[in-house]
Amino acid sequence: MTRPLPSADPQTQGLSPERLAHASALLGAEVAAGRVAAASILVARNGHVVLHAGHGAAPDAVYLLASISKPVNAVALMRLVERGVVALDDPVACYLPEFAGADRASVRVRDLLTHTSGLPDMLPENLDLRRAHAPLSAFVQGACTVPLLYPPRTGFEYQSMGTLLAGEIVQRVSGQALRVFHQREIFEVLGMHQSSLGLGGRQIADTVWCEYASSPDVDRFGGNSPYWRDMGHPWGGMHSTATDLSLLLQTFLNGGGLRGQTLLGRATVQRMLSDQNTAIGKPWGLGWGLATSPVWVYCGELVSPRTFGHSGATGTVAWADPDSQLLTVILTSRPTAQDDGRLLRVVSNAVAASVLR
């Protein structure tokens, strides 16, 4: 079982119990009204859980995280950077020789983590590949040959394919399947025992159902299909719980370690949480989005500029504010496209407003 952070009364951590209760009640009201089927929330400050609740599902129900998978995959790559077997400023082609031609020679490994490589978010043939239940290797092949949208580091385009190639580098350099590397090198280190890239041996019925539109075609390859849920795609295929994600966020707030286990060195954490795109004015860390980033920002408007995190299209967000030592995980079953992430933003605002001192 996952060992959670210790619990504490909100007042002892300088938080308003009433305001935290209101944040949870906002989710509860959406569930009660039938606008959301399930939602979980966890808030911690100074390493202590002050709120953990579930509405329409258990507090630690397992959700498909979607793009929160991206910074987790970045952690995997940075583990290899720390070992000296991958370098951020190396060309991607050093590790993926088939990534060649046009401007690809100047695409660096770091560009895959900062959305500046010129790769598209999705391949033009994305839906056709999914309908055919193509393996992840087919997506890698496509990402290695798809035309770049712009010369590397001259623009910003949120791109899942960059995360895919970062994951492919992890596989080739480590000699391990990516889901195995994540399990051994991240989840086991932090005690995230309810986390997996792919289903991790679960049945879909053991997880929260994503509220995507249903049709015979989509049901074969969509967000609730066995194919998509267990594909293990690093840009969106991770399953986890609020508790497990709180352990990851707290590790970064701690500077890279948790309970005597070191995930990353302090210097690595600092680089991952600092803006890598100052030259083009599109803030992003290494894998992590920032409060000032042009996309993903469903952490609300009341957090500090140093806040980092990520959201997921399935209706999820996880963020942490180093200034207030506050972290929040909100997992819902309603895709963010249905309200442009508004529910995640207003709940995050309510949490941030609970800080009294």
In this structure, the answer to whether residues 339 and 215 fall within a common structural domain is yes
Spatial separation of the C-alpha atoms in residues 284 and 156, rounded to whole Å: 10
pLDDT tens, 254-272? 999 999 999 999 999 999 9
Closest CA to 166 of 244, 99, 245, 246: 99
The answer on 330 and 317 residing in a single domain is: yes
Do 198 and 294 belong to one domain?
yes
Q: Do residues 333 and 273 share a domain?
A: yes
Mean pLDDT throughout 197-212?
A: 97
Q: For residue 153, what are the domain limits? A: 69-176
Average pLDDT, the chain: 97
- Both 103 and 16 in one domain: the answer is no
Nearest residue to 47 via CA among 255, 202, 186, 263: 255
274 burial (CB, 10 Å; 0-12 / 13-18 / 19+) is middle
- State the average pLDDT over residues 151-173: 97
Neighbours of 350 (CB within 10 A): 23
**98 pLDDT band (50/70/90 cuts)?**
very high
pLDDT per residue over 342-357, tens digit each? 999 999 999 999 999 9
The answer on 256 and 165 residing in a single domain is no
What would the mean pLDDT of 176-182 be, rounded to a whole number? 98
Does 297 score more than 80 pLDDT? no
What mean pLDDT is predicted for residues 56-72? 98
> In total, how many domains does the chain have?
2
| 213 or 283, greater pLDDT | 283
* Residue closest to 322 by CA, chosen among 302, 309, 304, 310: 304
Residue where a domain stops, chosen among 153, 176, 199: 176
| Structural domain contains residue 357 | no
Rounded to 5 degrees, φ, ψ at 161 are: -70, -30
Based on the domain organization, do 56 and 97 belong to the same domain? no
Could you tell me if 195 and 98 lie in one domain? no
